[in-house]
Amino acid sequence: MAVGRRFGALAGVAAAAVALAAAELVAVATGPRSAPLVAVGGVVVDTVPEPVKAFAIEVFGFYDKIALLVGTVLLLAAFAALVGVAAGRSLRAGYAGIALFGVVGVAAALTRPGATALSALPALVGAGAAGAALWLLLRDRVIAGTATDTGTDADADATAGKAAGQAVDGAGQAVGGAGQAVGGAEGRGRRTVLAMIGGAAVLGLGARVLSTRRDVSAVRAGVVLPAPASPAPPVPAGADLRLPRLAPYVTDNASFYLIDTALVVPQVDPRAWRLRVHGRVRRPLELTFADLLARPMVERHITLCCVSNEVGGDLIGNARWLGVPVRDLLDQAEPVDGADQVVSRSVDGWTCGTPTAVLRDGRDALLAVGMNGEPLPVAHGFPVRMVTPGLYGYVSACKWLVELELTTFAEFDAYWVRRGWAQQAAVKTQSRIDVPRRGAEVASGPTMVAGVAWAQHRGIIRVEVRVDGGEWQEATLAETVSVDTWRQWHWVWPATPGRHRLSVRATDGTRQTQTGMLSAPIPDGATGWDTIEVTVA
């Protein structure tokens, strides 16, 4: 007689929890990126269709990777529940499902950049632990033919279609509420399963915490940045209007946007860090972190913007960066004729391609080691990242940098280019309304309207606002450090009672006014006027 489906589903979930906990423990030694959950999640990030990825960024923003991990756990729990139901009828069927789990985990871990044979160990150990857990929970019940659920012999002999439906129902109940799922189980079985799930959860979370604590924060705290040979110009007194809810001129490190593909933030020890400059060059280079710090440093305020930023979005920030000019390194390496692309490569294998000519045209493209007066935060690319004014980050701002390879655009497509984004992408002229907020209710009379505008490396020379589709009114521009940063603006609106629509547009230093035609971020950045609605009381 088969084990009850509900208990079998719950046993499968418990076995999966044990597998993940065991894998996380092993991953403390082999590296957090080798844990099956992270490895499989990384494969999903790299292979999911672009519209799905764009949707996730739009909906979850900074938390898109957390949402992915949670979704992966839920899918795994549902799969494990189905495996448990099958195991309740035949342990061999359950072991086959666990073997599939192990194969997927091993394959995912071995395909990650920098993987070694040891990277397969967490998935293998996890699969073994899952098999042992399933055996402990179900063996006696299968042999004894003891049903632990309200299921009957008739249920066991139902048609294949009905059984599949009940299995899925059992999986949902197991994931949704452990207590309800084991309501019909024997007291001893219930305690065993709950103890196994609870213990595995504590063990797995503990291993994850231990793994994340073994980071480079202590090493980073000991890094002493050199004084810049070329300091950043001081921020003019009028650059920051300091209005409530208006984005400050300089974005602090904690508030600076984070968008990347790394499910686990790479931990790069600067003492072991090396940068290779190679490919189509006459004189390949290799530098240590100490070598880089010994070179003349440049400090500049530069605004970075993510290509995924929607019209009116907040995936943008302005910081004071310290670093070595990329141009100096390229000049030393001597690119050969025709090497029109510099591929920057992260320690986790991510790539972006930047036009060689842009990196040598005199703009302050940097290999940055500092951000707002301190070493780069780990999440922002410590110890070294690229910063390039005027280009979207996906073609110019590689974090955790370890390679610069000179090649051609005809020979190599970088990470996002292979996924449908443009090979080259200059930042579009854009503007945003920060004050008042979208949907706000304001008092009638003189009302402050303010925001930011940007066109990095071209600069902003005019911002205009209009109400309800009327005439454009020129706003007052705040001061700015350079054409490589965004610029605050403000306009006093004589607001009248009712519901109104406010729109903004900017004109850059080439006298090109941003288009009002709405377009999505893909393939090379969003366009359109930021438009909000407010109610005037």
Question: Of 116-125, 319-328, 428-437, 445-454, which range is least confident?
Answer: 116-125
Q: To the nearest whole percent, how much of the chain has pLDDT over 70?
A: 88
* Exposed / middle / buried, residue 150 (Cβ in 10 Å: 0-12, 13-18, 19+): exposed
Res 162: pLDDT: 42
Res 462: pLDDT: 98
Per-residue pLDDT reduced to its tens digit, 115-161: 889 999 999 999 999 999 998 888 765 544 443 343 333 343 333 33
Q: Residue 211: which pLDDT band, with cuts at 50, 70 and 90?
A: low
Q: Residue 73: which pLDDT band, with cuts at 50, 70 and 90?
A: confident
Q: Residue 435: which pLDDT band, with cuts at 50, 70 and 90?
A: very high
Q: Which of 525, 484, 228 is nearest to 361 (CA)?
A: 484
Element (H, E) at 325: strand 316-325
Question: Of 176-180, 199-203, 334-338, 393-397, which range is least confident?
Answer: 176-180
Q: What is the mean pLDDT of residues 332-344?
A: 98
Q: What is the mean pLDDT of residues 189-199?
A: 74
CA angle 94, 37, 315 (to 5 degrees): 145
Per-residue pLDDT reduced to its tens digit, 252-277: 999 999 988 888 899 999 999 999 99
Residues 6+ apart with CB under 8 A from 181: 6, 7, 9, 10, 170, 173, 174
Structure tokens at 39: 């490895």
pTM, entire model:
0.78
Tell me the helix, strand and coil percentages in the chain, rounded to 5. Answer: 40, 25, 40
Residue 464 has pLDDT above 60, yes or no: yes
Residue 402 has pLDDT above 90, yes or no: yes
Q: What is the mean pLDDT of residues 306-333?
A: 97
Per-residue pLDDT reduced to its tens digit, 6-62: 888 888 999 999 999 999 999 888 888 889 988 888 888 888 776 776 677 667 766
Res 188: pLDDT: 55
**Would you list the DSSP string of 65-97?**
HHHHHHHHHHHHHHHHHHHHHHHHH-HHHHHHH
Strand (E) positions, 377-517? 385-387, 401-407, 430-435, 441-442, 445-454, 460-467, 473-474, 476-477, 487-495, 498-508
Res 21: pLDDT: 92
Domains present along the chain, CATH in parentheses: 5-213 (no CATH), 274-419 (3.90.420.10), 430-536 (2.60.40.650)
Q: To the nearest whole percent, how much of the chain has pLDDT over 90?
A: 68
Element (H, E) at 285: strand 285-288
* Exposed / middle / buried, residue 468 (Cβ in 10 Å: 0-12, 13-18, 19+): exposed
Asked whether the beta carbons of 267 and 214 are under 8 A apart, the reply is yes
Phi-psi region for residue 508, left (φ > 0), alpha (ψ -120 to 50) or beta?
beta
In 3-state terms, what secondary structure has residue 421? coil
The residue with greater pLDDT, 183 or 365, is 365
Q: Which of 372, 534, 518 is nearest to 449 (CA)?
A: 534
Element (H, E) at 54: helix 50-60
Intra-chain end-to-end CA distance of the chain, in Å: 72
Per-residue pLDDT reduced to its tens digit, 228-240: 999 999 999 999 9
Per-residue pLDDT reduced to its tens digit, 490-525: 999 999 999 999 999 999 999 999 999 999 999 999
Q: Which of 404, 114, 400, 397 is nearest to 270 (CA)?
A: 400
Structure tokens at 477: 């521009």
Q: Which of 44, 526, 56 is nearest to 259 (CA)?
A: 56
Residue 338 has pLDDT above 80, yes or no: yes
User: Which amino acid, 274?
Assistant: R
Q: Three-state SS across 5-21? A: HHHHHHHHHHHHHHHHH
Average pLDDT, the chain: 87
The residue with greater pLDDT, 405 or 111, is 405
Tell me whether strands 401-407 and 274-279 are parallel, antiparallel or unpaired.
Answer: parallel
- Which stretch, 188-197, 255-264, 410-419, has highest mean pLDDT? 410-419
Residue 164 has pLDDT above 50, yes or no: no
